[in-house]
């Protein structure tokens, strides 16, 4: 497969990638008190040794009180955590790999991973958790979360923007090869884009352009802090964890408004997060969400969702099984045709740390093992 589009190089700003295979960000909860330890170093080093072109870390908490509610999710602040990340970066680079951290604030979904301090205010644009639809959250959490809180104030917004900038500056200082931003799935940045959670009628909400302003300002702060050379990846989604059928854009024109503003602010690569990478994004076209992201911005895009797996993560958890489906040829064709530029792969990277080598050799994909494919064994 050395002539495969999967194994062609790509450069984005200062980031030089040997292939188009990306390890997708996956929350793991192995960093005690937010500090990546030796096991986390070894986990990422193995994927770099396996030939993966780019590693995007699990979500990393920015320095804000309600950024992440799980004490085992790593931080991008504090001496101990930063030293842990320095060891990760050094190990990946020594193995010949590239790595970028995914900066994260959970926003309205505060409290979904663990019990929280009731004195800490969740960050919600309008104080609302969001209209409930198809979700995998428990009834008890949903009942708690649907209680409204005080909307974000102007000071809240400024504080969060500053926290993103500090995290980006720290990541650049540690030697990361770029910055990734989690802007999907109903988390904070996405909650400003979604009309279901952003009910504001000020400079931060109202029409679609104003709903886009907060994520834009975050991107600008990250670009200013990280400098001109490091690329910025931005994960966005239509679906929310509050409602898997929700959408931020009903048409490609609406998507163009959102992504165009983010592109102008400094995003270099759009990470289009959907449950199946090949699903058409809008009626009347076969183009995927990643394909539309590239089409409306002219920037490189990355697809993700059920690569090598016949069911989404949510469905495979419910049904406790998933068929292995070799859809790699479809990925190759779409990259070769220019529909998107990178493919992010999650669960196969958990099951096979040397996934890129496996794909290059044409060896079969690993048989489904729920403990391996969901990272219990890592």
CATH of the domain at 288: 3.20.20.70
What is the number of alpha carbons within 13 Å of residue 64 lying toward its C-beta? Answer: 29
Catalytic residue among 44, 187, 234, 244: 187
Distance CA 1, CA 359 (A): 7
pLDDT (tens digit per residue) in 161-200: 999 999 999 999 999 999 999 999 999 999 999 999 999 9
**Overall domain count for the chain:** 1
pLDDT at 366: 81
Structure tokens given for 341: 């530029």
Whether 187 is catalytic is yes
Distance CA 168, CA 57 (A): 14
pLDDT (tens digit per residue) in 37-86: 999 999 999 999 999 999 999 999 999 999 999 999 999 999 999 999 99
Distance CA 271, CA 293 (A): 8
pLDDT at 321: 59
Is residue 251 a part of any domain in this protein?
A: yes
Is residue 205 a part of any domain in this protein?
A: yes
pLDDT at 173: 98
Question: Tens-of-pLDDT digits for all 378 residues of the chain?
Answer: 568 999 999 999 999 999 999 999 999 999 999 999 999 999 999 999 999 999 999 999 999 999 999 999 999 999 999 999 999 999 999 999 999 999 999 999 999 999 999 999 999 999 999 999 999 999 999 999 999 999 999 999 999 999 999 999 999 999 999 999 999 999 999 999 999 999 999 999 999 999 999 999 999 999 999 999 999 999 999 999 999 999 999 999 999 999 999 999 999 999 999 999 999 999 999 999 999 999 999 999 999 999 988 665 556 555 655 677 789 999 999 999 999 999 999 989 999 999 999 999 999 888 777 656 565 545
pLDDT at 309: 82
pLDDT at 371: 59
Is residue 378 a part of any domain in this protein?
A: no
**Among 135, 158, 344, CA closest to 244:** 135
pLDDT at 313: 57
pLDDT at 367: 78
Residues 6+ apart with CB under 8 A from 324: 308, 309, 310, 365, 366, 367, 368
Show the domain range for 259: 5-373
Is residue 359 a part of any domain in this protein?
A: yes
Is residue 349 a part of any domain in this protein?
A: yes
According to DSSP H, which parts of the chain are helical? 38-49, 79-94, 139-145, 154-174, 188-193, 208-211, 213-226, 252-265, 289-297, 313-319, 328-336, 347-351, 355-361, 370-373
């Amino acid at each position: 497969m050395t002539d495969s589009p999967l194994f062609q190089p790509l450069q984005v700003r200062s980031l030089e990638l040997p292939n188009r295979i990306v390890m997708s960000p996956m929350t793991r909860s192995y960093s005690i008190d937010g500090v990546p330890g030796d096991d986390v170093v070894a986990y990422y080093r193995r994927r770099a040794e396996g030939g993966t072109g780019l590693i995007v870390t699990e979500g990393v908490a920015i320095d804000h009180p309600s950024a992440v509610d799980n004490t085992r999710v790593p931080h991008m602040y504090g001496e101990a955590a930063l030293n842990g990340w320095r060891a990760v970066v050094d190990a990946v680079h020594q193995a010949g790999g590239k790595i970028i951290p995914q900066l994260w604030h959970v926003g309205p979904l505060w409290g979904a991973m663990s019990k929280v301090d009731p004195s800490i205010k969740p960050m919600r644009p309008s104080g609302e958790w969001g209209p409930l639809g198809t979700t995998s959250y428990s009834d008890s959490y949903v009942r708690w979360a649907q209680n409204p809180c005080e909307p974000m104030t102007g000071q809240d917004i400024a504080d969060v923007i500053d926290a993103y900038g500090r995290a980006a500056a720290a990541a650049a200082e540690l030697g990361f090869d770029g910055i990734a931003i989690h802007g999907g799935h109903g988390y904070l940045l996405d909650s400003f884009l979604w009309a279901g959670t952003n009910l504001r009628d000020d400079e931060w909400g109202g029409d679609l352009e104003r709903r886009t302003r907060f994520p834009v300002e975050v991107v600008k702060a990250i670009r200013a802090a990280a400098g001109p050379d490091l690329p910025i990846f931005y994960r966005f989604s239509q679906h929310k964890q509050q409602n898997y059928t929700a959408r931020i854009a009903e048409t490609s024109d609406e998507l163009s408004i959102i992504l165009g503003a983010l592109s102008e602010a400094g995003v270099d690569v759009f990470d289009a997060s959907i449950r199946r990478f090949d699903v058409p994004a809008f009626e009347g076209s076969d183009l995927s969400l990643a394909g539309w992201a590239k089409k409306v911005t002219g920037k490189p895009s990355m697809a993700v969702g059920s690569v090598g797996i016949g069911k989404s993560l949510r469905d495979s958890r419910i049904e406790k099984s998933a068929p292995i489906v070799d859809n790699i040829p479809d990925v190759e064709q779409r990259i070769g045709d220019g529909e998107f530029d990178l493919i992010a792969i999650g669960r196969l990277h958990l099951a096979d740390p040397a996934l890129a080598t496996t794909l290059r050799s044409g060896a079969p994909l690993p048989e489904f093992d729920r403990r391996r494919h969901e990272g219990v064994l890592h």
